[in-house]
Structure 1
Amino acid sequence: MESVNIHEAKTRLSQLIARAQQGEGFIIAKAGKPMVRVTPIDSPAPEQQKRLGFLAGEFRVPDDFDRMAEQEIAGMFGV
């Protein structure tokens, strides 16, 4: 894994990021002392990503959903 000093990392940041995206990580050092390791983030494949609406059509919400147990709840509040 390549090690670059902070000044060089600032100068070549775009190039270093492009290489990291290709899978080549690198280390940023200060005065020769390793400070951080930069590695690519592995994102899930599109078919593995969570999506909204994935249960669409799998179940039905009753028409009276908002009135279910209405009387029991009212009784709890003394109405």
Structure 2
Amino acid sequence: MIQINLDEIQRDTSSFLKLIQEGNILVIVEGDRPIAEIKPIQSSTSSKQLRPFGLCAGEFVVPDDFNEPLPDEIIHQFETAGNCC
């Protein structure tokens, strides 16, 4: 944890941002009293692991007619859905 005052952070903001990116926590003090804490955001993408292939195997089945055209009745419902109100 690094303590800094407002004058220091205003003079060299980019250096302090680099410290935060490196994982440091900054405590901004006024006099001897801490007034704020700045810390890096824990990114979920850095620790995100890929899901294994086939995780849901057997959970559901794609019907044989999946790629067949929709019935005219359903197409008509889609086309008129925005005209109801």
TM-score by length of 1: 0.57
Q: Which segments of structure 1 move beyond 3 Å, counting only runs of 4 or more?
A: 62-68
For structure 2, the 5+ residue unaligned runs are 49-61, 78-85
For structure 1, the 5+ residue unaligned runs are 49-57, 69-79
Residue 71 of structure 1 corresponds to none
Q: Matched residue pairs, number? A: 61
| Identical aligned residues as a percent | 22
Residue 14 of structure 1 corresponds to 14
Could you tell which deviates more after superposition, 14-23 or 25-34? Answer: 25-34
CA distance in 2 between partners of 1:23 and 1:47 (Å): 15
TM-score by length of 2: 0.54
